[in-house]
Amino acid sequence: MTSTYASAYAAALSAAHDAAAGQNYPPGALYVVATPIGNLADITLRALHVLQLADVVACEDTRHTQTLLRAYGIDKSTAQLLAVHQHNEAQAAQVVIDRLHQGQRVAYASDAGTPAISDPGARLVAAVRLASLPVVPLPGASSVTTALSVAGIADEGAHHGEFVFVGFLSSKSAERATAITALGVEARAVVMLEAPHRIGALATALATLGERRLTVGRELTKQFEEIATFPASTFPDWLHRDPNRSRGEFVLVLHPAMVAAESGSEQRILKMLLAELPLKTAVKLTADITGASRNVLYEAALALKKEGA
C-alpha cells in the first residue's frame, strides 16, 4: 500500500522541492507541521519539503508517522524519529531542545491535523520558546476549521462568526452534563471533538439543548465522510438510524444561540429602517444595532414587506 502511494506522490515531492526549496529553513528551529486529518492528498508542499529536510521528526506515534512518511516516499530511519506524546512531552521536550542547540532541524507532527490544538505539542512549543529557540509554523489541515467551514455560522446569533473550541468533554456523565449546561448559555458557536465509543453518550447529553442547531462531521475528508445539520434534540435519533454513524472520529459544531427578532425594540427598528432603506441594508443595520441574527431579521423583514403589500 505505501509503495503504491509513494509512487503516486513522487511528483508531489518534486513539486515540493521546486516550490519550497528556495525559501529559508534555519537550522536549530522547531517546525510545527500540520498533517492530513484523513485524506493523504491534503498535505502541503511545504510540509513535504520540511519533512524531507528535517534531521529529526518528533511525533505523537512513531509507527503512525513512519507509515505516513513512507506513503509520501520520504525515507527516515528509526533513529530519526522521536516519540513526543502526552505521557512524555515534558521530558521529550528537553531532548528536542538539545537537538536544536546542536543546530538540527526538528519537525513535529501529531497523528493528524495541526499539532498543539487538541493533540500534544503545546508543551513542546512552550518549552522551545522558553529556551529562546525559534518555532516555525507550517499551517495545513485542521479538523476544527474543516468543520467550521461547512457549518455556515457566520450570520447566526449575536456573535457573527465567533466560536469557542472545547475539544473533548469529560467522559464522566456528571461532569459532561455540567459542561453541556454551561454550553447551553454560551452565545457563540462551540466546537467539540468526540471518539466513536463515546458519541452515543454525548448525543444524549446534547439533546437537552433542544432546538439549538448542531452540525456533525464524521470521518471528515475520508471515504465515508458524513456532514449533517439538525436540532440538537434529534441527534440521538440521527445517530441510531444508521449503525455506521457511530463509527469514526467526530467533530461537532454547536451553532450560536439564535437571537429572536420578535422583541418590540427589534421590530420597531426594523420597521423604521425598512421605510427608508432597501431590505438588505435595513436588515444589516438592525442586526448591527440589536445583535439579532441576520437570518431571523431577514425573514421578519420579508414578512413585514408582505404585510405592507
- Tell me if 8 is assigned to some domain: yes
- Tell me if 25 is assigned to some domain: yes
Task: Verify that 122 and 203 share a domain, yes or no.
Answer: no
CATH classification at residue 77: 3.40.1010.10
Domain that holds residue 60: 2-138
Task: Verify that 83 and 115 share a domain, yes or no.
Answer: yes
- Tell me if 259 is assigned to some domain: no
**pLDDT of amino acid 300:** 86
| Position with higher pLDDT, 248 vs 264 | 248
Of the listed ranges 22-26, 33-37, 236-240, 276-280, the least confidently predicted one is 276-280
On the question of pLDDT at 215 being above 90, the answer is yes
Task: Verify that 112 and 150 share a domain, yes or no.
Answer: no
pTM score of the predicted model? 0.81
Of the listed ranges 160-169, 215-224, 260-269, the least confidently predicted one is 260-269
| Position with higher pLDDT, 262 vs 57 | 57
Per-residue pLDDT tens over the stretch 188-211: 999 999 999 999 999 999 999 999
**pLDDT of amino acid 260:** 55
| Position with higher pLDDT, 261 vs 23 | 23
Give the type of residue at 287.
A
What's the average model confidence in pLDDT over 152-158?
77
Task: Verify that 192 and 172 share a domain, yes or no.
Answer: yes
Give the residue from 86, 109, 138 where a domain finishes: 138
